[in-house]
Amino acid sequence: MRHRLKRFLMDERGVGAIPPLFLFLLIACILLYIAIDIYGYSIQKQKLLVAANEIIEIVKAENGFDAQTQNQFDALVQKLGLDPAKITVYGTPKLVQRGSPVEVVARMEYETIGLKPLGKSLSVPIEVTVQGLARTYIR
């Protein structure tokens, strides 16, 4: 048993094969961390886009964005699992005329986790912009 283990750890010349194995594992772990960060970024962006698309429908129906719409947005992103305190959202102010363009812009920072074992932190901005046309005619 011991002889088999020793033969497994050594190549034909008697040199240990463990350092290349550790190098491969290190590279694999780095790639895994990068993949996790890319996945996390895309999920956060998708959640922010869903919330912005829901709110633009309200903004189009009410002809603009105000504090009440902000509160509805905050409640929605909280249900989606995001922290409303970390999200900046603004839109076209209320009372635009029917057919006028309205817009909602939402921004947040995504904190990467890939560099945390090294004691570093990296923030990547996420910005989502949705547009539409106001629906209600104001007299």
Q: What angle do CA 85, 90, 91 make, to 5 degrees?
A: 155
**pLDDT for 17:** 59
CA neighbours closer than 13 Å in the CB half-sphere of residue 92: 23
**pLDDT for 43:** 96
**pLDDT for 110:** 93
pLDDT in tens, the chain (139 residues): 656 655 555 656 655 556 777 788 888 988 898 898 999 999 999 999 999 999 999 999 999 999 999 999 999 999 999 999 999 999 999 988 898 999 999 999 999 887 777 778 889 999 999 999 998 877 7
Pseudo-torsion of CA 128, 60, 73, 43, nearest 10°?
Answer: -30
**pLDDT for 56:** 96
- Integer Cα distance of 126 and 111 in angstroms: 10
**Where do the domains of the chain lie?**
17-133
**pLDDT for 13:** 60
**pLDDT for 5:** 55
- Integer Cα distance of 94 and 55 in angstroms: 13
Q: What is the pTM (predicted TM-score) of this model?
A: 0.79
